[in-house]
Amino acid sequence: MEFKDYYKSLGVERSATQDAIKSAYRKLARKFHPDLNPGNKKAEDRFKEINEAYEVLGDGGKRKKYDQLGANWEQILKDQQDGNVYSDFGGFEPGPRGKAGGFSDFFEAFFGGTPFSSEGFGGGTPKPQAGEDIEHDFPLTLEEIIKGEKKALKISLGEFCSRCKGGGKISTTTSSQHRRRVTMHICPNCRGTGQTERSQTIEVKIPKGLKGGSKIRLAGLGGGGVQGGKPGDLYLRVRIVPHPIFKTEGHNLFAELPIWDDEAALGTEMTVPTLVGNVVLHIPQGTQNGHQLRLKGKGLPLAKGEGFGDLYWRILVVGPPPHLSEKERELYLELRNLRIAKNNREDIRKKIKP
């Protein structure tokens, strides 16, 4: 028989709190849940391993007994099978154990038939516990952010299992003349997670001031509470969908504007797009490559109606055209001669002279 390291199964330290154990269990249970991994035998086995580990570590009494096992687990099992009482391990009774819902031989040997009274198992009813907060990706286009309207989003919401009341376990009770025996089993409805999932489409109001990485809090739409506990919150993490023209930095927008060399030299006016329509951009005479022209207030909205960010157009000077006409060639020759006469050609090369 192989010793089962339940702490390793859940990926927690032996000093982990009960809340940390429950949190680790729920995350793993969701990841390897058979409904999300149909036909995946490895995921199914991992799900069983997780459930078995939580069956022990999730209960204070079982966890205490498990921690006392240590390197002496084989001797404890031998004493138990020989009909001896090993009092330091909680007074196990000799004799056969009941089955524990398909768990390992190790579990069945030590925990499968352990009698519990309703008082010894926390009153038989899980205490109210608040649900977990959940984060969900929320993709938005720049146009959706600037309009600030509503957007429909389909999400999976967790709610506590109606059969086990969110505890993840159900009990069966047998009575004899002298004692009452309560045996706990994994709830078949939620498979021990304490929660079931349902899909729902919600309308999300897009508030002002959003940017990449912002979070929208929707109270009460997170994980379901246990035994009437308050549900957690849902946090929508904003992910900006890549735009074909604009890039974002905070609430400012940036774009590149290619212009011809003559437009840069002589200046011009061009119609350029923004998120709220086209505007005329004035390009000054002598504009250099890489220069940024600012359109104030044409960026993303700031929080609480405090205005808007800015839009910056970065100039990319292009030229000359790949194929010159005869007239263009004559003009470029004339331009060269003018620059030679003014010594402009040498002025721009001063920085690279040895």
Which string of DSSP letters, residue by residue, matches 122-160?
GGGSPPPBPPPPEEEEEEE-HHHHHHT-EEEEEEEEEEE
- Alpha carbon distances (Å) from 96 to 78, 110, 207, 286: 13, 11, 63, 94
Position 220, amino acid: G
Peptide bond into 320 cis (omega under 30): yes
Q: Which of 73, 90, 114 is the last residue of a domain?
A: 114
CATH number at residue 53: 1.10.287.110
* Token representation of residue 200: 């729902």
Can you point out the beta strands (E) in the chain? Answer: 134-140, 150-160, 169-175, 180-186, 195-205, 215-218, 234-240, 247-249, 252-260, 268-274, 277-283, 292-295, 311-318
Residue 75, pLDDT score: 55
**Confidence (pTM):** 0.55
234/156 Cα distance (integer angstroms): 11
**For residue 159, pLDDT beyond 80:** no
- Residue 151 falls within a domain, yes or no? no
- Residue 137 falls within a domain, yes or no? no
Q: For residue 41, report the phi and psi dihedrals to the nearest 5 degrees.
A: -65, -35
What pLDDT band is residue 79 in, cutting at 50, 70 and 90?
A: low
226/176 Cα distance (integer angstroms): 32
Terminal Cα distance for the chain, rounded: 80
* Contact predicate 22/50, CB 8 Å: no
Q: Is 346 helix (H, G, I), strand (E, B) or coil?
A: helix
- Residue 158 falls within a domain, yes or no? no
- Residue 214 falls within a domain, yes or no? no
Q: Which of 85, 114, 143 is the last residue of a domain?
A: 114
CATH number at residue 257: 2.60.260.20
- Residue 128 falls within a domain, yes or no? no
- Residue 279 falls within a domain, yes or no? yes
Residue range 31-39: mean pLDDT, rounded: 79
Residue 118, pLDDT score: 30
- pLDDT greater at residue 305 or residue 142: 142
- Residue 252 falls within a domain, yes or no? yes
235/16 Cα distance (integer angstroms): 26
Written in H, E and C, the secondary structure of 267-316 is CEEEEEEECCEEEEEEECCCCCCCCEEEECCCCCECHHHCCECCEEEEEE
Of the listed ranges 108-122, 237-251, 296-310, the one predicted with least confidence: 108-122
Of the listed ranges 157-171, 182-196, 204-218, 230-244, the one predicted with least confidence: 157-171
Name the β-bridge partners of 134: 234
Q: Which of 54, 87, 114 is the last residue of a domain?
A: 114
Into how many domains does the chain fold?
A: 2
- Residue 187 falls within a domain, yes or no? no
Q: Give the list of residues 6+ apart from residue 237 with CB closer than 8 angstroms, or none.
A: 135, 136, 137, 138, 213, 214, 215
Range of the domain at 266: 247-352
